[in-house]
Amino acid sequence: MQKLTAEDVKKFAIEAGADLVGIASIDRFDGAPPHLHPAKTILPTAKSVVVVAKRIPRGCFRGNLEGTNFTTYTYYGYVLQQHRYYMHKLDYEVACFIERHGWEAVPNQTSGAHFRIAAFAAGLGQIGWHQLLLTPQFGPRQRFGLIVTEAELEPDPLFEGKLCDPEDCGYRCVAECPNGAVPKTRKITVNVAGKTLEFSDLNLERCLPNCIAITKHSPFMVKDLPGIDEVNPRWRGGMPLAFSLYAFSTNQVAIARGSPPPPTSGGIVDCYHMLYRQFALPFMVFRGSTGCMEACIEYLEEKGKIPRYQYPLRRREKWKL
């Protein structure tokens, strides 16, 4: 049987459609919580984790930036990338390639590992203050998939560059998040592959509703989320509502764990259940790029830390309803 090398896997992954690929040895996940360790949740005999990435075209942000086609980012930057077609197919093809060489491989696009930490462990980039994984090729503009395998492949060196520099950029992700989901002072510290990582203690109750849409930047939620954009919002139901928008997948997990699914709030949730039934979408990420991603891309391009385009990302004043 032909020997399988890390270069073989990388070459095939690129040919199969990956823009980036990195490899982590399983020992780099030592110390991870059991529910996020690939050898404890996915494949007990794992030796390596292959992380693949596909870019999000910068044009996918144009609808949000200009207030025009909201759904471009939803389809081509999130749902089709991460949850539906592109990454699933890529993970599957790479896993099959590894198995053709006699090694078991598990494609994974759901749970059992922290994708951004896995990408860091595979040497693809740095986790920014906003908890997004930044690469020198695209900044935050990519989605990840991973393949856990019994094949022992040579790991890539960890990324040693400094893409995220909160002091230098003035904490733009903090300042520009419309819902104040990214704190400046509260942080999380973790150890990965012998490196200490620090990033913000993200407020999901504020982050997730912003991914769907926010009051002053979307015509879809004005009545349902009164005061969500205020410093001290009157509306406090963020987490239950946000999770209920993931009703299909979340309920499956809840049932598997023997616990009741999160409550729904009616109204807006029913609307998104309708969208799911009609368009096979778990939710619509109308404004998922707002704030942290756009501010980060702008900074990284300004500083020449990632490739520049012919024109800057933002070409007009920020708009709102």
Range of the domain at 119: 6-161
Is 105 in a helix, a strand, or coil? strand
Dihedral (CA of 112, 245, 90, 97) sign: positive
Q: 3 is written with which tokens? A: 């020997």
Q: Residue 68: its pLDDT value, please?
A: 80
- Which of 16-25, 28-37, 282-291, 308-317: highest mean pLDDT? 16-25
Please report whether residue 228 resides in a domain. Answer: no
Q: What is the Cα–Cα distance from 27 to 133, expressed in whole angstroms?
A: 20
Please report whether residue 47 resides in a domain. Answer: yes
For the whole model, what pTM was predicted?
Answer: 0.81
- DSSP character at residue 139: B
Q: Is the pLDDT of residue 228 over 70?
A: no
Q: Is the pLDDT of residue 67 over 80?
A: no
Please report whether residue 91 resides in a domain. Answer: yes
Nearby residues of 256 by Cβ (< 8 Å), 6 or more positions away: none
Please report whether residue 315 resides in a domain. Answer: no
Q: Residue 179: its pLDDT value, please?
A: 77
Q: Which of 80, 61, 71 has its CA nearest to residue 289? A: 61
Please report whether residue 200 resides in a domain. Answer: no
pLDDT tens by residue, 166-189 = 999 999 999 988 778 899 999 999
pLDDT tens by residue, 10-38 = 999 999 999 999 999 999 999 888 888 99
Please report whether residue 318 resides in a domain. Answer: no
- Cα atoms found within 13 Å of the Cα of residue 195, Cβ hemisphere only: 18
Contact yes or no for 184/222 (Cβ under 8 A):
no
pLDDT tens by residue, 130-170 = 999 999 999 999 999 999 999 999 999 999 999 999 999 99
Please report whether residue 26 resides in a domain. Answer: yes
Strands 126-127 and 195-200: unpaired
Q: What is the Cα–Cα distance from 51 to 183, expressed in whole angstroms?
A: 29
If one compares 246 and 34, the residue with the highest pLDDT of the two is: 34
Q: 236 is written with which tokens? A: 């406090």
Please report whether residue 86 resides in a domain. Answer: yes
Structural domains in the chain (count)? 1
